[in-house]
């Protein structure tokens, strides 16, 4: 188990994020139109996985906005914003905010993404949601950067994640 905090209170996730140098686990997530997408659907692209508990919280929303702004100029890269929110909530948020440079994906159907990436929170108020993390994959699906944000109420290190894509 990995230990993170929520407002200073220690909580556990399933374990450690996929390590730099290893291939990322495949996934099946739900797009806003309720179709399914997997890792292989992004073959040949670099991916920035912005993972968070819920798009309806301030810090989660801020990370989606920031990566949307920063991703606009990065070639052959997709930013995937992943949470257990319903696809309808994700679509509503991005539509209201005018965000077009990120792809929101939901793990609401099975929670397997959170389990396979060891992100699932194990106890407390956010139990079963995803912890805040950023994982960057190269064109082959290999992890080239990861950050498990130690305090859920903190934003990720945007610059370090973006630097990994350069």
Is 94 an annotated catalytic residue?
no
Residue 161, CB half-sphere, CA atoms under 13 Å: how many?
27
The two structure tokens encoding residue 77: 């890269």
Cα separation, 137 vs 25, whole angstroms? 11
Q: SS3 of 80, please?
A: strand
The two structure tokens encoding residue 138: 């190269």
Cα separation, 137 vs 48, whole angstroms? 6
Catalytic member of 60, 80, 81, 162: 60
Q: Which of 2, 27, 43 is nearest to 109 (CA)?
A: 27
Helices (H), 7-86: 58-71
Q: Which residues contact 53 (CB under 8 A, 6 or more apart)?
A: 60, 83, 84, 121, 126, 129, 130, 131, 132, 152
Q: Which residues are catalytic?
A: 60
């Amino acid at each position: 188990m990995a230990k993170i905090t929520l407002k200073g209170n220690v909580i556990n996730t399933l374990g450690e994020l996929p390590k730099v140098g290893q291939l990322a686990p495949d996934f099946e997530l739900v797009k806003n139109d309720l179709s399914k997408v997997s890792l292989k659907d992004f073959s040949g692209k670099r991916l920035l996985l912005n993972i968070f508990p819920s798009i309806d919280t301030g810090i989660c929303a801020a990370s989606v906005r920031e990566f949307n702004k920063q991703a606009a100029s990065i070639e052959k890269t997709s930013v995937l914003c992943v949470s257990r929110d319903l696809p309808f909530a994700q679509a509503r948020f991005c539509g209201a905010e005018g965000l077009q440079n990120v792809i929101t994906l939901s793990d609401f159907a099975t929670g397997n993404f959170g389990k396979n990436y060891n992100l699932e929170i194990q106890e407390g108020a956010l139990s079963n949601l995803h912890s805040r993390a950023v994982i960057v994959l190269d064109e082959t699906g290999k992890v080239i950067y990861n950050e498990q944000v130690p305090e859920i109420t903190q934003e990720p290190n945007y610059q370090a994640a973006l630097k990994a894509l350069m």
